A and B are shown apart, each in its own frame.
Chain A
């Protein structure tokens, strides 16, 4: 009915001689005006956003990470842990610059026996909502983590945890399934985040962004995939010394956009992850500094010893002999990664330069000799697989670089094959590839975490490499927390691996943070274990 009335009135207008066109003209005109106005006010807007950088003492950090869960039980990726680490407290933590865990919520912790780890909590800990943090809270958190075992959660890190026991209000005892020297480190990861039993449901993940922890910050405002704003917590009692009252995580979809933002000054800092080109360009930009620190990401060239020609040790060795890590770092990554000569990451307790010691600098003569000795006629046809959909765009460059290096020696003919990540995982496990590209992000800054997943009895990659001696060494190092014993074990493992070359470590990522002038503490914040947002400040 009302529709009709409109029609009617329109026609009345028409008959009064106000015609459609004139009306249309007016509409267009209005629109035009609006658009111009937009333009004008835009110019007005410019002033205010250039000042965004310093405003309100907040440090704004841009990133292309994304958050999958604000609840520790569902969070097992760097993006989420950036939040978790700031909002929640853990029994242990890694001190800035260190890789050996120290008490955080705990006053003290120790192995009472290889399978029992006991902690005493700090007195008077409270959550940001005022609830008390007691041994019960800790037990609740760990039981919950294991109980929910969320598909996207980190519960697998607690694989060695048998049960958690709360004695009184401040005593927590962790009973382990088997001896696990890395358990203290596990407690220091965000798998050990302590949640408020009054806020979090016992058997399911918490929905929404109203999260409560006892960490250095509270989550003030959260817009998924856009922005997370953190305010210094008034109730925090812990080792961290905060250099800012508020920091903001701004989430970007594209590295290029992030780069532009830090260039424009709409963010004070950019962390994870700019393209090599961007980083190179920003280094040249005035008013902007680029800081490098050791990262944890590693890239391995993995052989499948069940597939020809990778089944022949000589072939693997020959590749290890000629592969030029410096070249890959330069050609594919503009030096944003560092050469890696051992499966154990640089700066990790127990790291040795095993591959360098054995093979020295790339040398095709030696490689040729190795092949000759094994009676293999060059060139060897080697298939190398990589995936374009999991390791970023530069993966393509890395694959090409490897192909080029190997073929340059005339000893190999490399056939590149790229497969979408889903299929890639299946193929790699089903011994389809002779050699392939694998990236590794260790959960703990512990040598064991770099080697055991690949060399244990059931490795989760198709390596076809089964070495009893190595497996025994692994059991040995996991059984003790005596540094000397463990270091020796790792040294032996790395030596054997370098000799058998089932996996050739290629590079270890650098963490790069880009800051605008006036941002302080970035060097300290850039910690291999976890980025320390509280170290950042503005002059």
Chain B
């Protein structure tokens, strides 16, 4: 990643308002985001931070799952004694046990781990592919653009869960239900979103005079894309990313629920646990369904709040000057001097 090399036409170009100053081409966007976050107030601030905290907790839970969870996700006995089958919550198993006599608490914790892995993979995949395609399409245009747009729109036209299901069904057949597979099936759903956003702003940036200038100066496309478009685009991405992160959790669970997700013996997955729990619910066993369900909702909630908050903060049309009531100090009447009589009057 070469910083501004003297050959790069950065210096000459007037720092157009929509663009970060050349030097911060790559971090300017982020810096602006951070500034916006810091000056957030009121509801957006609340959503932003609540979301952030919940998401953080979720991540911690996932990362340190093995330390937090009392047992492994497939542990069914300890010290030779087998766990109760569908045992109600008690001292040893705070969240009870499942039909496979697994500890619900541990399953839930490890579920977070799985969710995080898939989430990160899915988001990264779709981010990389989507942004890349979007930039190329928006920057170069032409037939490449036309074809990509058509395909993406077509993908976009699919009901997204349906798309994920079909993709899951395809991938699962090819590679079996691994974490990667799940992530891929979800990725397919999100690529079009990134593509659209990125392409749009790439298009607008492309018309901008300074980019024209840069190209006129013979800047390599790669340089222009990296320094201008990317810096420009970076801002719209965080919102979508967090929103998708939330979505990814739900979609993964949806796949798992339909048995198209990760293989149950490979990892703990909330959707699968829920599908198994449906029977228990009808049999009045609430704990196997409640805790994974709750965990999922909270996790999704966290990321959604984060995304919403970011959106409020970053989206200018949603930004709003804080109302602070003004108290006018007592009036001091302006003194007047009337030259028509030529005497000063208070």
Contacts and interface: CB of A to CB of B under 8 A. Distances in A.
Does A touch B (CB under 8 Å) in the complex?
A: yes
A396 B264 CA distance: 7
Interface string B271-283: 0000110111111
A331 B85 contact: yes
A159 B259 CA distance: 37
Contact of B282 (A281, A399, A418, A419): A281
A255 interface: yes
B86 interface: yes
Contacts of A199: none
Contacts of B172: 420
B283 A280 contact: yes
A472 interface: no
A275 to B, nearest CB: 5
A471 interface: no
A162 interface: no
Interface in A228-263: 254-256, 259-260, 263
B283 A388 contact: no
A223 interface: no
A420 B278 contact: no
Interface string A265-279: 000000000011110
B29 interface: no
A400 interface: yes
B125 interface: no
Interface in B82-128: 85-86, 99-101
B218 to A, nearest CB: 53
Contact of B99 (A263, A277, A422): A277
A260 B282 contact: yes
Interface in B249-296: 259, 263-266, 275-276, 278-285
A256 B283 CA distance: 10
Interface string B38-77: 0000000000000000000000000000000000001011
Interface string A390-434: 000100110110001000000000001011101100000000000
A278 B278 CA distance: 10
A281 B284 CA distance: 9
B283 A418 contact: no
Nearest to A424: B176
B76 A254 contact: no
B100 A400 contact: yes
Contact of A277 (B74, B259, B283): B283
Contact of B86 (A254, A277, A278, A404): A277
Q: Which of A254, A420, A422 has the most CB of B within 10 A?
A: A420
B99 A397 contact: yes
B265 A418 contact: yes
A250 to B, nearest CB: 17
A332 to B, nearest CB: 8
Q: Which of B259, B278, B279 has the most CB of A within 10 A?
A: B279
Given A418-B263, A419-B176, A420-B173, A278 B279 contact: yes
Contacts of A420: 172-173, 176-177
Contacts of B278: 254, 256
A277 B281 CA distance: 10
B76 A256 contact: no
A10 interface: no
B282 A259 contact: yes
B259 A388 contact: yes
Contacts of A263: 282
Q: Which of A277, A281, A419, A422 has the most CB of B within 10 A?
A: A277
A389 interface: yes
Q: Which of B86, B101, B263 has the most CB of A within 10 A?
A: B263
B85 to A, nearest CB: 7
A277 B279 contact: yes
A404 B77 CA distance: 10
Contact of A397 (B77, B100, B282): B100
A255 B264 contact: no
A400 B279 contact: no
Q: Which of B280, B282, B284 has the most CB of A within 10 A?
A: B282
A277 B173 contact: no
A106 B175 CA distance: 53
A404 B279 CA distance: 24
B280 A416 contact: no
A275 B277 CA distance: 11
A388 B264 CA distance: 9
B25 to A, nearest CB: 47
A263 B176 CA distance: 37
B265 A423 contact: no
Contact of A416 (B265, B281, B283, B284): B265
A278 to B, nearest CB: 5
B311 to A, nearest CB: 27
Contacts of B276: 393
A281 B259 contact: no
A331 B77 CA distance: 13
A396 B265 contact: yes
A396 B259 CA distance: 12
Contacts of A422: 173
Contact of A400 (B74, B85, B284): B74
Given A400-B76, A404-B76, A281 B99 contact: no
6 contacts: A254-B278, A260-B282, A277-B279, A278-B283, A400-B74, A416-B265
Interface of B: 74, 76-77, 85-86, 99-101, 172-173, 176-177, 259, 263-266, 275-276, 278-285
Given A400-B265, A416-B265, A418-B265, 12 more contacts: A254-B278, A259-B282, A263-B282, A277-B280, A277-B285, A281-B284, A388-B264, A393-B259, A393-B275, A396-B264, A400-B74, A418-B176
Q: What 9 A-B pairs come out closest when comparing CB atoms?
A: A281-B283, A277-B279, A275-B279, A256-B278, A418-B263, A396-B264, A397-B100, A278-B279, A256-B282
Interface of A: 254-256, 259-260, 263, 275-278, 280-281, 331, 388-389, 393, 396-397, 399-400, 404, 416, 418-420, 422-423
